Amino acid sequence: MRTNILGAAAAFAALTSCGLFKPSLKNPEQPPTPAAASMERPEKAELSPKPSTPAIRPTAEEKPPAPLPPFLEKGLGWLAEAQLPSGGFGGGSHSQQGVRDPHAVPADPGTTAFVTIAFLRAGHTPTKGMYRNVVRRSLEFMVKLVESAPEKGPQITDQTGTQPQAKMGQYVDTALAAQLFTRVLSELRDDPKMADRVETALGKCVQKIQSSQSKDGSWGGGGWAPVLQSSLMCNALEMAKSVGVAVELDSLGRAREYQKDQVDSSTGTIASGAAAGVVLYAGSGNQRAAAPEAKAAEDAVKQAQIEGKLPGDARVSFDSLVQAGLSKEKAGAFLESWRLDEQARKRLEDDRYLTGFGNNGGEEFLSYMMTSESLVIRGGPEWDRWKSQMMNRLARIQDPNGSWSGHHCITSPVFCTAAVALCLTADRDAEFLGKASQVAMR
């Protein structure tokens, strides 16, 4: 099975890399938050290699990296310094949200996976890029953790009380781990041993995700805004299916429908009950779930125009989709997604919507990331406008040390900085995201 998965994943690889910045971080002597012994921090934190370290210099065979904006390079440099000796990254605990020092908190799997995906999206793989050592160590941390997790149950860790868990749900680590393993598979073609381990770990995560899904397509496990956890679960299933993992179509379908149901396509009203009353959280997940089918609807109409089945000025409608060859059931579903996506893109012009809770937290940054992915999947000029808007918005609120911090709920600068990096680099994953979303619908 690994050969098939790697073959599919290889087509989605988008390799770029960025520069290096190494601000210093303090490492106070305060004790870490209690956690499993395997995740405790030694007295002195290990810093990532300096630019002069031969092991992380680009090799002669590598192409020069495509530079990111300096402020974002600075953020990635800060993240590299935040890595703990275990190879993991910590998002801090819900009970101590005021602790912002990344070396004063234990590593947790959700934050570690999220940060590693950010490095991958920026072009740093286990073998290429300035931060290859960071990625290798964090990937090893995640694979070992999932390998040691019990087969049954929705969770991959017995660690509790982390900020991602408290705010999104107790199972969020599993969703983010699955996304990491899916994304990194195409980078492991020359390391079959690690590829086997990652594939096995991914299958284990997918089984846990599917077995813990509720009948309505969501995932429980508490959380302040569980709609975000459900959205990440939905995306994890979509990505896993696209690289050849056996994903139940009913499970993925129910997950998408749950996210689509967060917005009434006829009125645009957003249901905020599972989003802590914050329409941004539900709206961004809704847009992310609708984008693949919205894109498919437009593509079907364009193809029908090329084939002469529809006139050149035809627009997406139920009749045009049926004439394009879709079944009535699929035409109805695609039309609803197209309408939802149209509504979502208009909402992005409303600053009150983008403000979310009222000030920035990790949930806002995560919502911006999902919006970025939606626009990249859908395509068109909206992405360029959104990226420019977000560049200006997020650069203004960057902390002097290069990180971003939340002002409520998920305050962790590690989680928030990774979310910002993912938001602003979604176009570097355009091929992977586009093909993953389309393959998952077949």
Structure tokens, 212 = 């813990």
Count other Cβ atoms within 10 Å, centred on residue 207.
Answer: 16
Q: What is the C-alpha separation between 97 and 205, in angstroms, rounded?
A: 28
Instruction: Output the CA–CA distances (angstroms, integers) from residue 123 to 68, 79, 128, 137, 376, in the order listed.
Output: 10, 15, 8, 16, 17
Q: Is 440 exposed, middle or buried (0-12, 13-18, 19+ CB in 10 A)?
A: buried
CATH code: domain of residue 289: 1.50.10.20
Q: Note the pLDDT of residue 100.
A: 76
Which residue, among 154, 301, 163, has the nearest Cα to 236 in the 3D structure?
Answer: 154
Q: Note the pLDDT of residue 99.
A: 73
Q: Provide the strand spans (E) within 171-311.
A: none
Q: Give first-to-last CA distance, the chain, whole Å.
A: 19
Taking CA 178 as the corner, what is the angle to CA 362 and CA 376, rounded to the nearest 5 degrees?
A: 60
Q: Is 335 exposed, middle or buried (0-12, 13-18, 19+ CB in 10 A)?
A: buried
Cβ–Cβ under 8 Å, residues 438 and 292: yes
Residues facing residue 162 across a β-bridge: 93
pLDDT tens sequence for the chain (442 residues)? 554 554 444 444 433 333 333 333 433 333 333 333 333 333 333 333 333 322 233 333 445 556 899 999 999 999 999 999 999 999 987 767 777 789 999 999 999 999 999 999 999 999 999 999 999 999 999 999 999 999 999 999 999 999 999 999 999 999 999 999 999 999 999 999 999 999 999 999 999 999 999 999 999 988 899 999 999 999 999 999 999 999 998 999 999 999 999 999 999 999 989 999 999 999 999 999 999 999 999 999 999 999 999 999 999 999 999 999 999 999 999 999 999 999 999 999 999 999 998 878 899 999 999 999 999 999 889 999 999 999 999 999 999 999 999 988 899 999 999 999 999 999 999 999 988 887 766 5
| Alpha-helix residue ranges (DSSP H) falling in 324-361 | 328-347, 351-355
Please tell me the total count of domains within the chain.
Answer: 1
| Helix (H) or strand (E) segment spanning residue 265 | none
SS3 181: helix
In this prediction the pTM is: 0.84
Q: Which domain holds residue 255?
A: 2-439
Residue labelled with tokens 């570097």: 428
Residue labelled with tokens 């910590």: 90
Cβ–Cβ under 8 Å, residues 373 and 327: no
Q: What is the C-alpha separation between 399 and 143, in angstroms, rounded?
A: 32
Cβ–Cβ under 8 Å, residues 195 and 137: no
